[in-house]
C-alpha cells in the first residue's frame, strides 16, 4: 500500500521502532565496516579493542556450517559418469548437482555470512574467491563452485599466498 512506500522502496511495518546500530565509539564502527561485513543491525559490541577484534578472527578454524557437503571430486565424478551415458544423462546429473550441491551450499554460505562471529574471515573469503574466480559457464564446473571455495580458498585465507595459489590453480574447478 502507499503508506508503506517511500521513494519506491517498501518500508517494513516496524521500521519506525527500530533503533540505529549502537557503537561504543567510532573505532568500532570503522572496524566493522573496513574489516567486517558492515555494522550489524543489532549493534554488536566488538569490545573496547577493535584491533583485537580483528586479530582474534585470524585463525585456521573452519566454520562448522560448511561441513558435511560433498567434495568437488565426488560432484565431478558423478557428472563424468553421467557424461559417459550420454548428453541427456549429463544434463540431468548437472541439474541435480546444481539443486543438491550448489544451491544448498550457497545458501549455507550466505547464512554463515549473515550470522558469522568472524566477519573479517568472511570478507577475506569473498575477496580471494573473487580474485581466483571460477566461471559458472560449464555444466561440469558450475555445480562444484561452492566446493572449490571451501576446498581451495577457505583453508588458505590467513595462510601463505603461495599455498592458496597452488590450491586454486590445481583444483578441478579451475582446470
Q: How far apart are CA 9 and CA 75, in angstroms?
A: 41
Q: How far apart are CA 166 and CA 35, in angstroms?
A: 26
Q: How far apart are CA 54 and CA 35, in angstroms?
A: 7
Please say whether the beta carbons of 174 and 151 come within 8 A.
Answer: no
Q: How far apart are CA 81 and CA 96, in angstroms?
A: 13
Per the document, the length of the chain is: 175
pLDDT score recorded for residue 148: 96
pLDDT tens for 40-80 read 655 566 777 888 889 999 998 889 999 999 999 999 999 99
pLDDT score recorded for residue 50: 85
For residue 3, name the pLDDT band (cuts at 50, 70, 90): very low
Helix 119-131 and helix 103-115, axial crossing angle in degrees, nearest 10? 140
Distance of CA 22 to the CA centre of its chain: 26
Q: Looking at the predicted structure, is the pLDDT value of residue 16 above 60?
A: no
pLDDT score recorded for residue 124: 95
pLDDT tens for 83-115 read 999 999 999 999 999 999 999 999 999 999 988
Tell me the average pLDDT across 5-16.
48
pLDDT score recorded for residue 23: 55
DSSP per position, 35-99: HSSS--TT-----S-HHHHHHTT-S----GGG-SPPPHHHHHHHHHHHHHH-HHHHHHHHHHHII
Is the pLDDT higher at 116 or at 139?
116
Task: Quote the percentage of the chain above a pLDDT of 70.
Answer: 83
SS3 content of the chain, % helix, strand, coil (to 5): 60, 0, 35
pLDDT score recorded for residue 24: 61
Amino acid at each position: 500500500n502507499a503508506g508503506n512506500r517511500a521513494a519506491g522502496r517498501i518500508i517494513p511495518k516496524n521500521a519506525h521502532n527500530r533503533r540505529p546500530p549502537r557503537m561504543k565509539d567510532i573505532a568500532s564502527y570503522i572496524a566493522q565496516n573496513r574489516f567486517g561485513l558492515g555494522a550489524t543491525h543489532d549493534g554488536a559490541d566488538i569490545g573496547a579493542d577493535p584491533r583485537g577484534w580483528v586479530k582474534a578472527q585470524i585463525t585456521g578454524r573452519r566454520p562448522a556450517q560448511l561441513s558435511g557437503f560433498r567434495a568437488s571430486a565426488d560432484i565431478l565424478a558423478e557428472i563424468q559418469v553421467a557424461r559417459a551415458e550420454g548428453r541427456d544423462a549429463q544434463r540431468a546429473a548437472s541439474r541435480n548437482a546444481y539443486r543438491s550441491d550448489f544451491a544448498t551450499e550457497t545458501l549455507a554460505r550466505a547464512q554463515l555470512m549473515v550470522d558469522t562471529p568472524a566477519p573479517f574471515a568472511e570478507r577475506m573469503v569473498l575477496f580471494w574467491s573473487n580474485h581466483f574466480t571460477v566461471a559458472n559457464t560449464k555444466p561440469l564446473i558450475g555445480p562444484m563452485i561452492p566446493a572449490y571455495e571451501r576446498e581451495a580458498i577457505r583453508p588458505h585465507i590467513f595462510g601463505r599466498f603461495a599455498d592458496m595459489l597452488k590450491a586454486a590453480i590445481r583444483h578441478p574447478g579451475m582446470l
